[in-house]
Amino acid sequence: MSSGQPRPETRIVSRCTAKKSQGTHAFEIIDYSLHRGLRKGKFISSVAFDVGGYSWCIRFYPDGDYSEMSNGSISVFLKLLTKEVEVRALYDLWLLDQNTGLSCSIFRPIEAPSVFSTMENNKGGWGRSGFFKRSELESSTYLQGDRLVIECDVTVIKETCVLVKEDQKVQVAPSNLSRNFGKLLETEEGSDVSFNVGGVVFRAHKIVLAVGSPVFKAELYGPLGKDNRQVITIQDIQPAIFKGLLYFIYTDTMPSMEDSDGDETIDFIKHLLVAADRYAIHNLKLTCEEILCKHVDADSLATMLVLTDQLNCTSLKDTCFKYMGYSNRLNDSGKERVPET
Residue 286 above 80 pLDDT? Answer: yes
Q: What confidence score (pLDDT) does residue 163 get?
A: 57
Kindly tell me if the per-residue pLDDT of 335 is higher than 50: no
- Are 89 and 116 in contact by the 8 Å Cβ rule? The answer is yes
Per-residue pLDDT band at 337 (split at 50, 70, 90)? very low
For the chain, the straight-line distance linking the first and the last C-alpha, in angstroms and rounded, comes to 57
DSSP 203-237: EE-HHHHHHH-HHHHHHHHSGGGTT--SEEEE-S-
DSSP for 83-152, please give it: TT-EEEEEEEEEEE-TTT--EEESSPPP-SPEEEE-STT---EEEEEEEEEHHHHTTSTTSBTTEEEEEE
- The average confidence (pLDDT) of the chain is 85
CB atoms within 10 A of CB 277: 19
Whether 333 has a pLDDT exceeding 50, the answer reads no
Separation between Cα atoms, residue 206 and residue 216, nearest integer Å: 8
Q: Which domains does the chain have, with CATH numbers?
A: 14-162 (2.60.210.10), 178-332 (3.30.710.10)
Whether residue 165 has pLDDT greater than 60: no
Q: Is the pLDDT of residue 300 over 80?
A: yes
Which amino acid is located at 312 in the chain?
N
Pairing of strands 103-105, 114-117: unpaired
Residue type, 324: M
Compute the distance between CA of residue 66 and CA of residue 118 in angstroms, rounded to an integer.
20
Residue 209: what pLDDT? 93
Q: How many CB atoms lie within 10 A of CB 85?
A: 15
pLDDT value at position 227? 57
Taking residues 290-314, what's their average pLDDT?
A: 88
pLDDT of residue 256: 81
Q: 124 falls in which pLDDT band (50, 70, 90)?
A: confident
Q: Is pLDDT above 70 for 338?
A: no
